[in-house]
Amino acid sequence: MRLYKETFRLFRKDKFLWAVLLAYNVLSMANIGYWAKVDLGIGSMLEHTRMILMLCPQFLLLYLILSYEFCSRQHRANLAETLVATGGGRANQPAIVQLAVLTTVLFINFLAVTGLNLFLTSLSFTASRTVDAGHIGAVYIVKCMFVNVFLISLIGVLLGLVLSKIQKRVVGYGVIMGVALVVSYLLEEISMIVMVLTDYAVNLSDLLDLFQIMPIGLNYQINSAFGFPIMTYRVCLILFWCLVMILILLVRDSKNKRSIKTLIGLACCIAALIGYALPSSRVDMSLSSSGSVMADQHYYEVGQYRIGEREGGFEVERYRMDLDVHRLLKAKVTMDVSRCRKEYRFTLSHSYEVERVTDAQGKEMAFDRDGDALLVDNRRANTKRITVEYHGANEAYYSNSQGMNLHGSFPYYPISGYRQITEDGLLMNPLFLEQDAWFEIRVHTPKQVYSNLRQQEDGSWTGMSNGPTLLSGLYTSTVKNGVEIVYAPLSGWNADALDAVTKAVRKAGYRDCKVFITPIMNREDSAVSEEQILTRNYFEDVSELEV
């Protein structure tokens, strides 16, 4: 503790470093406060969060330079040796103490920035008269700021500590300039240029993604039902780079390169890398051909995929679905069909990989998968009960631990016949079931789920439906004018806007339906039926709803 206090005192006495830290924070926060005043109560309640996230590259560079300068000055002044002697001669103690001091400063900075964000957001709630958003917004904002401000800036602290071991300042600042280019979204721009020049034949996003620690897609419409991604894969990616820096320090300061500490550090790096690389449902609002905005357009329009529409010759009368939604959707769907056929034709989005198909006795059935088409061979089994197991996630109709956007009009589960989902990846066909079926669904996910089905005491969702809609994330629900509406309060929905929506629905004669206000994912996917209305999160689209 004495070493920590002494090192913190040395940092506090460094007027230059404090001047840089305070000047940047005051100027950047004043700028955010000014624009917050201009935009107060307009649009998404996450607008202030987005503005702060745009500063993430600057925060990383700020703490990289602070860490580098502070630690380098201690080395040059020979203070590190003094502290080692005071602390009993442990060689790696100065680095640990320096890291502790800089992390403390960073954490205080994180609390200040997060506090300002929460304050400005609460003012927006008041100005827009947004309802039911306070608790939802506060919890999410704190998590988002911790991942994207604190953890990302911690990479800068650790990298500065590593670079301080380099004696030549020219080399140190050369590396800092290289880092500045990498974190400035230059990689994203390069990837886009290459895709355009090669007519989308070459996608560098997957290759460069390992270095993309910054939040992306900040210039796109905010998804207020989901927020900005803070899923496991992003946390693991940020932690991976933190652990790489720690591993470098351990290797450098250790006489035995194969010491227990080094091996543990290496194991942690590998674990974080695996956590990042495992398949997951990602919400990537960049213009990458594999991102949420462009993926379907690239698959259907650029790839010219078309499914030959054909009737199934049967209806599914009953669905029993077991859905696990954490990193992505893992589904086990058992279907009872109306007629026994030699082969069953289903439509299931190409985003999902079918693992196996079994009959009523659990015996595997042969199947063929071609894009959105699933053909099951029933000549041997001769069964009317089919179980399909699959996993995956669509880029726009996401399913992960942070949220779900599974529309009842989208075939995230098998539906009878071959049906065209979309022709261009933008205009989505509403694929409700032609005949209502009985659904019994169990959803395993950390978030509260909203659906057009009825929730039972055991947590399952049941009922007759033309398609089960499953939403989760930053949602809430309310009943206005006898109509239940599920919406994202952080979009800025107030009582007057909700009133206008429900009155429009009742006026159109849809009194017994449920309204879902879904995110804008660069898809024209509004869908209307007697049972449910799914509409995108534009105030104009909803308040002037024509049904």
The encoded tokens of residue 75 equal: 């080395």
Q: Which domain does 188 fall in, by range?
A: 2-278
267 in the same domain as 362: no
Phi–psi pair at 282, nearest 5 degrees: -110, 140
Tell me if 291 is assigned to some domain.
Answer: no
Per-residue pLDDT at 91: 45
326 in the same domain as 392: yes
Burial class (CB in 10 A: 0-12, 13-18, 19+), 284: buried
From the list 368, 433, 369, 447, the residue with the least C-alpha distance to 405 is: 447
Tell me if 480 is assigned to some domain.
Answer: yes
From the list 311, 300, 296, 136, the residue with the least C-alpha distance to 226 is: 136
Tell me if 289 is assigned to some domain.
Answer: no
In what order do the strands lie in the sheet containing 399-400? 399-400, 403-406, 470-472, 449-451
534 in the same domain as 423: yes
226 in the same domain as 364: no
399 in the same domain as 490: yes
Three-class SS state of 56: helix
Per-residue pLDDT at 87: 47
Per-residue pLDDT at 123: 83
- Is the CB of residue 234 less than 8 Å from the CB of residue 203? no
Tell me if 288 is assigned to some domain.
Answer: no
Tell me if 285 is assigned to some domain.
Answer: no
Three-class SS state of 131: coil
When divided into structural domains, the chain yields a total of: 2
CATH number for position 326 = 2.60.40.1730
Tell me if 313 is assigned to some domain.
Answer: yes
Tell me if 283 is assigned to some domain.
Answer: no
In what order do the strands lie in the sheet containing 373-377? 367-370, 373-377, 343-347, 415-416
352 in the same domain as 271: no
378 in the same domain as 238: no
- Is the CB of residue 114 less than 8 Å from the CB of residue 148? no
363 in the same domain as 273: no
Examine the fold and report which residue of 278, 310, 340 is the final residue of a domain before the chain moves on.
278
475 in the same domain as 337: yes
179 in the same domain as 313: no
Per residue of the chain (547 residues), what is the pLDDT tens digit? 788 888 888 888 888 888 999 999 899 888 887 776 655 545 678 888 999 999 999 999 999 999 999 988 877 665 445 545 554 444 445 788 899 999 999 999 999 999 999 998 888 877 777 666 667 788 999 999 999 999 999 999 999 999 988 878 889 899 999 999 888 877 777 777 887 777 767 777 777 888 889 998 888 888 999 999 999 999 999 999 999 999 998 888 766 666 888 899 999 999 999 999 999 999 988 777 678 888 888 889 878 898 989 999 999 999 999 999 999 999 999 999 999 999 999 999 999 999 999 999 999 999 999 999 999 999 999 999 999 999 999 999 999 999 999 999 999 999 999 999 998 888 999 999 999 999 999 999 999 999 999 999 999 999 999 999 999 999 999 998 888 999 998 888 888 888 888 888 888 888 788 999 999 888 889 888 889 988 875 444 444 555 4
482 in the same domain as 390: yes
Query: Residue 13 and residue 271: Cα distance in Å, rounded?
Result: 39
390 in the same domain as 322: yes
Residue type, 312: G
From the list 422, 396, 429, 418, the residue with the least C-alpha distance to 301 is: 422
Examine the fold and report which residue of 278, 306, 322 is the final residue of a domain before the chain moves on.
278
